């Protein structure tokens, strides 16, 4: 058993290039208007929307000790 090399397959060059590109992505990154806009959306807009929704529904739902048929909204 020792010394046998199982699963010998031919490596696809396209998959190897994709792996190298993925691991070296930071070297090829450029700030463009599109990447700046996407970054702004993920850093500022999405957390703001989640925060507004969380603040508006704070304390509205109580899921503790509910039985079948009980409503979960408090007000």
- Is residue 28 a contact partner of residue 37, using CB atoms and an 8 Å limit? no
Domain range enclosing 47: 31-67+71-75
Helix residue ranges per DSSP H, 2-73 = 13-23, 25-28, 33-40, 46-56
Q: Into how many domains does the chain fold?
A: 1
CB 62, CB 72: distance < 8 Å? yes
Note the pLDDT of residue 24: 93
pLDDT along the chain (75 residues), means of 10: 65 90 91 96 96 91 79 74
Report pTM.
0.58
Which of 75, 41, 37, 36 lies closest to 59, judged by CA? 75
Residue 44 within a domain: yes
Residue 42 lies in a domain: yes
Flag whether 19 is in a domain: no
DSSP count for the chain of H helices, then E strands: 4, 0
The answer to whether position 18 is within a domain reads no
Q: What is the pLDDT of residue 40?
A: 96
Q: What is the pLDDT of residue 46?
A: 96
On whether residue 11 sits in a domain, the answer given is no
Identify the pLDDT of residue 7.
63
């Amino acid at each position: 058993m020792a010394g046998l090399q199982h699963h010998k397959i031919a490596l696809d060059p396209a998959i190897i290039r994709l792996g190298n590109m993925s691991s070296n992505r930071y070297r090829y990154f450029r700030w463009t208007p599109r990447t700046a806009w996407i970054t702004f959306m993920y850093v500022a807009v999405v957390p703001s929307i989640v925060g507004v929704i969380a603040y508006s529904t704070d304390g509205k739902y109580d899921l503790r000790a509910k039985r079948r048929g009980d409503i979960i909204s408090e007000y």
